[in-house]
Amino acid sequence: MEYLNILFSETYKILFLLLPLLTAVAMIVWLDRRVWAFVQKRKGPNVVGPFGLFQSLADALKYIFKEIIIPASSNKIVFILAPIITMTLALISWAVIPFSENYVLADINVGILYLFAVSSLGVYGIIMGGWSSNSKYPFLGAIRSAAQMVSYEVSIGVIIINVLLCVGSLNLTDIVMAQKKIWFIIPLFPMFVIFFISALAETNRPPFDLPEAEAELVAGYQTEYSGMMYAMFWLGEYANILLMCAMGSILFLGGWLSPINIYPFDLVPAPMWFIIKILLLFLLFALVKAVVPRYRYDQLMKLGWKIFLPFSLIWVVLTAGYLLYFDLLPKV
């Protein structure tokens, strides 16, 4: 009986995390479109519900009722598994994200490694979808995505090392609490900029949306998908975008910490500050899509390997040297 009580308690916590997350994904799609429309002087979603707020719900219903078509020459098992894996990995990453000091589903000591490992596995769903479709355009999109995600994960990993040097812990809650005096965006601002750009590439967002470039690859790795299977890719993509915004907030913007500890700012609940910071970073994601043209693939690789990686490595040396010289290395 005690085991069942624990099981129901954990299930309740998981639902309490997943349901708001799925709702948030639907709402940021609406916000994404509204930002593009504002920048380009268009209306954006404005018909379905007040201000078009129900447009994402209408799109979801459309995906549910659309026919799922599986190409006759595809590897059917892998074809079906690909979007499921993509969506599942995107959602389970949120298990270690702390919304406040006391609210986190799994407060593990290696939370940053867990995030890095799960996000790295996300490329498998895309590769499986592209290969199993047995079509040249999805396959080329999948290959592009694999090279792109691996390239920019290296830079993100080196950037995270800078933060870990300042904290001395892999626990995400400890990383946030270490920023009580000063947010890491101030001493590590160049790393924040590189992290943000690398996150765009990691999530296949413009100007790095080359794996699904409609001008060259129709829709890339998801060309042959329809209905709810396509929606799973779409859900996983936006859940990963929110995850990157959450990571940026935790690593550089103090997570749930208030920017000003005076009235009335101190009355705002800690999780609300965290959500506000995620939304601000997402607005930057949306603005980049609206104003920056798409890169060529060779420019993408040059930026990652010849600029970001060497600069990040140099900054690690500078950070470590500064902390060592002034005896500021954390005691662990």
Give the total number of structural domains in the chain.
Answer: 1
8 found inside a domain = no
Residue 82 has pLDDT above 80, yes or no: yes
224 found inside a domain = yes
Q: Which pLDDT band, with edges at 50, 70 and 90, does 313 fall under?
A: very high
pLDDT of residue 144: 83
Instruction: Tell me the residue length of the chain.
Output: 332
Domain enclosing residue 315, as ranges: 65-325
Q: For the residues 251-277, what does the mean pLDDT come to?
A: 83
pLDDT of residue 4: 46
d(CA 274, CA 263): 18
Higher pLDDT, 105 or 249: 249
191 and 182 in contact (C-beta within 8 Å)?
no
Give 183's DSSP letter. -
Q: Which pLDDT band, with edges at 50, 70 and 90, does 7 fall under?
A: very low
Residue 295 has pLDDT above 80, yes or no: yes
Per-residue pLDDT tens digits for 190-207:
999 999 999 998 888 888
54 found inside a domain = no
pLDDT of residue 14: 77
Among the ranges given (27-31, 124-128, 264-268, 311-315), the one the predictor scored with the smallest mean pLDDT: 264-268
Q: For the residues 154-178, what does the mean pLDDT come to?
A: 90
191 found inside a domain = yes
Q: For the residues 280-294, what does the mean pLDDT come to?
A: 89
Per-residue pLDDT tens digits for 120-158:
888 888 888 888 888 888 888 888 888 888 888 888 999
Q: For the residues 11-15, what does the mean pLDDT come to?
A: 75
pLDDT of residue 215: 62
Q: For the residues 77-96, what does the mean pLDDT come to?
A: 90
pLDDT of residue 318: 93
Instruction: Please state, for a pLDDT cut of 90, what percent of the chain lies above it.
Output: 22
pLDDT of residue 190: 93
134 and 75 in contact (C-beta within 8 Å)?
yes
Helix (H) or strand (E) segment spanning residue 127: helix 111-132
Among the ranges given (86-90, 118-122, 220-224), the one the predictor scored with the smallest mean pLDDT: 220-224
Residue 98 has pLDDT above 80, yes or no: yes
135 found inside a domain = yes
Residue 79 has pLDDT above 70, yes or no: yes
120 found inside a domain = yes
Residue 165 has pLDDT above 60, yes or no: yes
250 and 173 in contact (C-beta within 8 Å)?
no
126 and 207 in contact (C-beta within 8 Å)?
no
pLDDT of residue 168: 85
Q: For the residues 11-37, what does the mean pLDDT come to?
A: 84
Residue 69 has pLDDT above 70, yes or no: yes
pLDDT of residue 216: 65
Q: For the residues 271-277, what does the mean pLDDT come to?
A: 90
pLDDT of residue 311: 93
| End-to-end Cα distance, the chain | 40
DSSP class per residue in 242-310:
HHHHHHHHHHHS-TT--S--STTGGGS-HHHHHHHHHHHHHHHHHHHHHH-PPPPHHHHHHIIIIIIHH
Q: For the residues 275-300, what does the mean pLDDT come to?
A: 88
293 found inside a domain = yes
Q: Is the pTM of this model over 0.95?
A: no
Residue 233 has pLDDT above 60, yes or no: yes
